Amino acid sequence: MDARIFLRAAAAASLLLLCFVEYASAKTFASTLLWYKTPAGIFNEGLPIGNGRLGANVYGSISKEQIALNEDSFWSGGFRDRVSSTALPAFPTVVKTLEGGDLKAADNLWNSNMTGNPTWEQCFQPASTMFVDFGHNASLAQNYNRSLDLLTSVNTVTYSIGSVQYTRQAIANNPMDALGFRYQANSTGSLNFTLSFTRGQALRSVNANASTRTITLRGGGTLDKTLEFTAKLKLVTQTGTVTASSDGTSLVVNGATDVQVYFDGEGAFRYSSPATWEAVIDNKLNAAVTAGWNSFYQQAITDYSALASRVVLDLGNSGSNGEVETRARVANWKKNNHLSTDPELLTLLYNYGRFALISSSRPGSLPANLQGVWNDQFYPSWSSKYTLNINLEMNYWPAEVTNLPETHLPLFDFMKSMQTRGQGVAKSMYGANGWVCHHNADIWGDCAPVDSNTYWSANTMGGAWVSLHLIEHYRFSGNNTFATNIALPILSDSLSFFYDFLILNDRGYYVTSYGASPENAYLVPNGYPSNGSVVGIDQGTAHDRQVLYELFKGFIELSQATGSTAGVAKAQQYLSKIEPPNIGTTGYILEWSKEFTENEPGHRHLSHLLAVYPGAQISPLLNQTLANAALGSLNHRLSSGGGNMGWSRVWAVAIYARLFQGDLAASSITNLLTNYISSNLFDLNGGVFQIDGNLGIVGAVCEMLLQSHAGVVHLAPSLPTTTLPTGSVTGLVARGGFAVDVAWSNNAFSSATIKSSRGGTLALGVAGGISFKVNGAAYTTPFNTVAGQTYQITL
């Protein structure tokens, strides 16, 4: 039997997935199944599962399976008011020094007085590690396979020793809010293992109870005891014996045939006392046990697949290149370095990104952090927190366009916390109204500056940038209740800060009192004090102005759509005085307020091109001159060494797509897969798993197939001319509430179907401006649609 068919059959187990036949038939194994012939020895080779709040990464060996477990609220400690006592008195001096032209002195003043105290925020930490020690001799094992099925979210390991076949399964159940693991042998009484539960730091206790068949672990944050928690495993078996180990920390299973283990963890972030959260754990685990494995398993698949199946992408068939295990496919890609050799590997990466978003961000959870909900380090890189100068925003690029708006909701809930904390920061740092967040936030929504380097720390646009997601959610959903009750209060409060923080420059434009172009810097030019020095602070960077343009514009749009006039006139006045993007003597978009020389021409960030993507201020449909300058800017940055990590290259893909450069977008996709994707498809940043690239590539690929940001639902705007010749996508969503299917052949648009969900005017474009028909009649002008009606687009 083909190994992939065997794996999917094992994953299905006793469940007949008839309801997913149509979904599955639209995809091949090569685009929906990660599978391997060897175990995952390290975390960055493991295969994850998650239900939004809980996450697990399965790796280890044939002998001993290791599962890194996470709960989204288990962090290092409690909230700290980190605003420096020197910030408020120093702020006017920083501004005055900048205005006086002593850029280096202003930079030094900022670093000395404005940064947070301490400079770092809390970090995301592991819940625990679960070990399942089978004691199997790996040299005797045959037909080993492990897999992650993106159709069902089932994680499976199978192998045989002698005549006994062993199966291990892992699945995350969102409705029951627990994780489930199943261990089976096809020979009665052949299953023997030790189940243990541990934590490397801040471990309070571990207790195994053979009578209740549970292991209870209590722990907390490493910094303080604010975030104490309990994690529990509950074991179920109808055969064999279950005893506690001699030290009382493990459960020993002997002579079993089929064993299920359920996991939950709860803590102080959501509940008031250990008694409360431990009762919650028991209720959830008992409910899972009562339901039984088949029900738990089927419910998890049904829930996940209902979301995952909304979009089906077909980029062509990889043939024999897609029939080898995933590790070999990734290795082969790196050798061949071309999309046409294995287009389904990109489809697999796309589907994996949607799986990761569904698995790390669901209603009631915290938003996906830098690692989603999968982290095995107590002090992870960049604290695995929320980074607001691209990374958190990139996590949610796929949410609306791939019809996963539910995954967006945790971000909006979190923004309410950021708003509250940001109000304190605005007042205590700047004496300002409203709310502000700099370039990072932790679980508490801490909005004070992080680190002490103006290149990234002196950025007051983090809260404003992430607020743009509120605007986008409304543009897709048209939900006036959301706009009135959630979006506009947060947006209005953000504007209140900028009304106090912006100043008029000598050209009559509003600029930030200070700002940065994350995370680049420039050389102080001749004619200024300390010329030749490297500084990161400026007034009116392109990044600041572009975020402000989108913020003011979106606030006005949502206000007018809901009939609100509050604050609109003032917002319009300020919007009219936000300076548009400038083009320098090089022909590129100016990154700073003047034509300063950038310190890193090949910088990883593309902050000055936010107006192209995810913003909408620059588009070939609106201003070809600015679009050409943006293209030149991006080409310059990449040719100088930029795009040198996964998320950065993903951003380049999206910008190229917005500029109708399909071949350059495809080239950057190839670069991403060649240089930054690991064998388990994790996006790696310097060897560290960082989820933004995994999630962002989904949104970037969508921009090649569908755009709707420039007032037009644009079909196939950026198809490559030399790769991916034939394909289709179904289920995408355009702004205005239009469901869109697109097909192409011979590298050119062939047809599309658009369904209007709520009526409204539909303006259409195809492939950069070619002529087309709607329901058989030549399209000439935007037309009014009828809710529920479908429109056929042909050439």
CA distances from 544 to 230, 431, 438, 439, 525 (A): 43, 20, 12, 12, 21
CA distances from 647 to 77, 151, 331, 754, 758 (A): 28, 25, 20, 31, 34
Helix (H, G, I), strand (E, B) or coil at 70: strand
Residue 430 confidence (pLDDT) above 60:
yes
Which H or E element spans position 67?
strand 64-71
Rounded CA-CA distance 399/327 in Å is: 28
- Dihedral of CA 455/94/542/469: which sign? positive
Closest residue by Cα to residue 545 from 630, 662, 647, 460: 460
Rounded CA-CA distance 663/340 in Å is: 12
Closest residue by Cα to residue 694 from 686, 703, 684, 679: 684
Burial (Cβ within 10 Å: 0-12, 13-18, ≥19) of residue 777: exposed
CATH for 727-794 is 2.60.40.1180
Q: What is the DSSP letter of 366?
A: P
What integer is the mean pLDDT of 113-137? 97
Torsion of CA 342, 395, 643, 459, to 10 degrees: 180
Q: What is the DSSP letter of 369?
A: B
DSSP labels, 572-638:
HHHHTTSPPP-B-TTSSBPSSSS-PEES-TT-S--GGGTTTTT--S--TTT-HHHHHHHHHHHHHHH
The predicted-structure confidence for 728-746, as pLDDT tens digits, reads as follows: 999 999 999 999 999 999 9
Q: What is the DSSP letter of 525?
A: P
727-794 and 38-75+123-310 share a CATH fold? no
Q: What are phi and psi of 779, to 5 degrees?
A: -80, 130
| pTM reported for the whole predicted model | 0.96
Query: Tokens 């291990």 belong to which residue?
Result: 168
Helix axes 293-308, 343-360, angle to 10 degrees: 120
The predicted-structure confidence for 162-186, as pLDDT tens digits, reads as follows: 999 999 999 999 999 999 999 999 9
What confidence tier does 332 reach under pLDDT thresholds 50, 70, 90? very high
Identity at 264, one-letter amino acid code: D
Furthest CA-CA distance within the chain: 85
Residue 336 confidence (pLDDT) above 90:
no
Rounded CA-CA distance 113/162 in Å is: 69
Q: Any idea how long the chain is?
A: 795
Closest residue by Cα to residue 482 from 473, 495, 492: 473
Domain definitions of the chain by residue range: 38-75+123-310, 727-794
Rounded CA-CA distance 335/45 in Å is: 20
Helix (H, G, I), strand (E, B) or coil at 738: strand
- Dihedral of CA 783/788/789/790: which sign? positive
Q: Is 641 left (phi over 0), alpha (psi -120 to 50) or beta?
A: left
The predicted-structure confidence for 500-559, as pLDDT tens digits, reads as follows: 999 999 999 999 999 999 999 999 999 999 999 999 999 999 999 999 999 999 999 999
Rounded CA-CA distance 82/118 in Å is: 6
**What's the confidence (pLDDT) of residue 599?**
95
- List 387's β-bridge partners, or say none: 440
Per DSSP bridges, beta strands 178-185 and 164-173 are antiparallel
**What's the confidence (pLDDT) of residue 337?**
80
- Dihedral of CA 265/271/274/275: which sign? negative
CATH number 3.40.50.300 is the correct assignment for the domain at 38-75+123-310: no
Question: How distant is the alpha carbon of residue 222 from its chain centre?
Answer: 26
Torsion of CA 221, 223, 225, 229, to 10 degrees: 0
The predicted-structure confidence for 377-403, as pLDDT tens digits, reads as follows: 999 999 999 999 999 999 999 999 999
What confidence tier does 763 reach under pLDDT thresholds 50, 70, 90? very high
DSSP labels, 114-174:
TS-SSS----B---EEEEEE----GGGEEEEEEEEETTT--EEEEEEETTEEEEEEEEEET
The predicted-structure confidence for 607-635, as pLDDT tens digits, reads as follows: 999 999 999 999 999 999 999 999 999 99
Which H or E element spans position 360?
helix 343-360
CA distances from 565 to 13, 329, 482, 500, 603 (A): 58, 56, 17, 21, 42
Q: Is 769 left (phi over 0), alpha (psi -120 to 50) or beta?
A: left
> What ranges make up the beta strands (E) of 153-296?
155-161, 164-173, 178-185, 191-198, 203-209, 214-219, 229-237, 241-244, 250-256, 258-267
Helix axes 568-575, 488-501, angle to 10 degrees: 50
- Dihedral of CA 92/97/98/100: which sign? positive
What integer is the mean pLDDT of 593-597? 96
What integer is the mean pLDDT of 413-431? 98
What confidence tier does 27 reach under pLDDT thresholds 50, 70, 90? low
Rounded CA-CA distance 537/530 in Å is: 14
Mean pLDDT of the chain: 96
Helix (H, G, I), strand (E, B) or coil at 273: coil
And the tokens for 613? Answer: 């993507």
The predicted-structure confidence for 59-110, as pLDDT tens digits, reads as follows: 999 999 999 999 999 999 999 999 999 999 999 999 999 999 999 999 999 9
The predicted-structure confidence for 768-785, as pLDDT tens digits, reads as follows: 999 999 999 999 999 999
CA distances from 492 to 132, 175, 200, 418 (A): 52, 35, 44, 14
The predicted-structure confidence for 269-316, as pLDDT tens digits, reads as follows: 999 999 999 999 999 999 999 999 999 999 999 999 999 999 999 999
What confidence tier does 3 reach under pLDDT thresholds 50, 70, 90? very low
Closest residue by Cα to residue 90 from 75, 76, 105, 79: 105
Burial (Cβ within 10 Å: 0-12, 13-18, ≥19) of residue 21: exposed
Torsion of CA 49, 55, 57, 62, to 10 degrees: -80
And the tokens for 602? Answer: 């090949």
The predicted-structure confidence for 633-677, as pLDDT tens digits, reads as follows: 999 999 999 999 999 999 999 999 999 999 999 999 999 999 999
Helix axes 326-336, 343-360, angle to 10 degrees: 130
Share of the chain above pLDDT 90, in %: 95
